[in-house]
Amino acid sequence: MKKILFFIPTLSGGGAEKVLVNLVNNLNREKYEVTVLTLFDTGINKKYLAKHIHYKFIFKRLFRGNTVIFRLFSPEFLARKFIGQERYDIAISFLESPATRIIAALDDDTKKIQWIHNEYSDENEFLKCYSSKKEFIKLQNNFDRVIYVAETVKSGFHNLFPELKLSEEILYNPIDTDSIRKLSEEKSLYIKKSPIGFHIVSVGRLHPQKGYSRLLDVMSKVINMYPQVTLEILGEGELRGELEQKIKALGLQDNIKLIGYHENPYARVKSADLFICSSLHEGFSTAVTEALIVNTPVLTTDCSGMKELLGKNNEYGMIVENSESGLYEGLMNLLKNPEKLEKYKHMAQLKSDSFDLNYRMEKIEQMLDSLL
């Protein structure tokens, strides 16, 4: 039995956290003894860990400025302090964070993996967890394998740090399609909508990355021409107050609702006419993947992973320029051409057949075994 550690900041309601829970729950329990370690004991996804998964945390509560504070200490000190004498065959940093710096400092007896989920255009998004770029480069070379969740995540990392020559590969996120489809049939959670209405849904944290402020501006212009259009945003985050004020200022309280976090968003997504992703950047969007699984047409900005999900020529959904005007023009296009929505609904079903959980788990286990 090989001991594997997954280290992540929290088990909050984000896409990477959901993917981690799905991954560890489906690893072969006859081969691997799995521990999930979090920096902070917070997050809705903790309760979904299978009973055989060991769970540990370092701090009970999240505290402000933690990234800056961790930088004051050497990664070797933090590794000794937080992981201690516990020995693992493989240790995995599952999200770009202070956890990555700590895992990189473990001794050579432990194989080390970095799992990168996001595409960034600014190197400081990576460097903010390190005392310097020199330290970042040194610690990156300690990893035995770097995993990217999409081709564009890999190329984005290479563009920022061309000097790094790492052992790396792309592994797509494992998604439990059967469970999602089953949950999506919970009709009591379906959207109650008018027969003449057009209902749009989005799922994501209320965070600047998700582009919801510009989406509200787009919706204001669209609703002026199509007053039957409505939008629900499922998610929580730091921008709730700001977005609520903007909805009120735009006079859109009847058309746009901030629903909050839902443990089962799939039924609402399934019953919507369109799923929209307005993100400034992504890694490999769990929310878009899940929308395809429940056969809801997708409109998204052009960010990492979308061409791998929706096709280079918009075969399985509509990818638009990553801008306010791109979102507006794409949404107006679909409203004026409803036959495109029917096409994307059908194509979403075809695409979702490729999200095979067993195949993706097999590829992940092959990667792990190659390091042992």
Amino acid found at 296: T
Question: How far apart, in whole angstroms, are the C-alpha atoms of residue 85 and residue 67?
Answer: 24
pLDDT band at 288 (very low <50, low <70, confident <90, very high): very high
Going by pLDDT thresholds of 50, 70 and 90, the confidence category of residue 114 is very high
Based on the fold, state whether residues 142 and 262 are members of the same structural domain.
no
- Does residue 75 carry a pLDDT above 90? yes
244 and 209 inside one domain:
yes
Q: Within this chain, do residues 360 and 345 fall inside the same structural domain, yes or no?
A: no
60 and 30 share a domain? yes
Contact (CB, 8 A) for 371 and 145: yes
* C-alpha to C-alpha distances, 191 to 129, 184, 200, 231, 254, nearest whole angstrom: 41, 12, 10, 11, 15
Residues 192, 213 within the same domain: yes
47: CATH: 3.40.50.2000
Q: Are residues 89 and 123 in the same domain?
A: yes
When divided into structural domains, the chain yields a total of: 2
Average pLDDT, the chain: 95
pLDDT tens sequence across 145-193: 999 999 999 999 999 999 999 999 999 999 999 999 999 998 887 777 7
Q: What is the pLDDT of residues 239-251, one digit of tens each?
A: 999 999 999 999 9
**298 lies in the same domain as 170:** no
Instruction: Classify the phi-psi angles of 38: left when phi > 0, otherwise alpha if psi is within -120 to 50, otherwise beta.
Output: beta
DSSP state of 234: E
- pLDDT tens digits along 121-154: 899 989 999 999 999 999 999 999 999 999 999 9
- Segment 261-284 shows an average pLDDT of 94
CA distance 180 to 162: 39
170 and 187 assigned to the same domain: no
In this structure, are 134 and 58 located in the same domain? yes
- For residue 111, what pLDDT band results from cuts at 50, 70 and 90? very high
pTM of the shown model: 0.86
Under 8 Å CB-to-CB from 254, ≥6 apart: which residues?
A: none
The closest alpha carbon to 297, from 263, 262, 335, belongs to: 335
Shared-domain flag, residues 188 and 111: no
Does one domain contain both 192 and 84? no
Query: Does 158 share its domain with 235?
Result: no
Q: What confidence score (pLDDT) does residue 335 get?
A: 97
The whole-angstrom separation of Cα 293 and Cα 76 is: 43
At 308-337, the pLDDT tens digits run 999 999 999 999 999 999 999 999 999 999
Range of the domain at 78: 2-174+356-371
Q: Specify the pLDDT at position 177.
A: 93
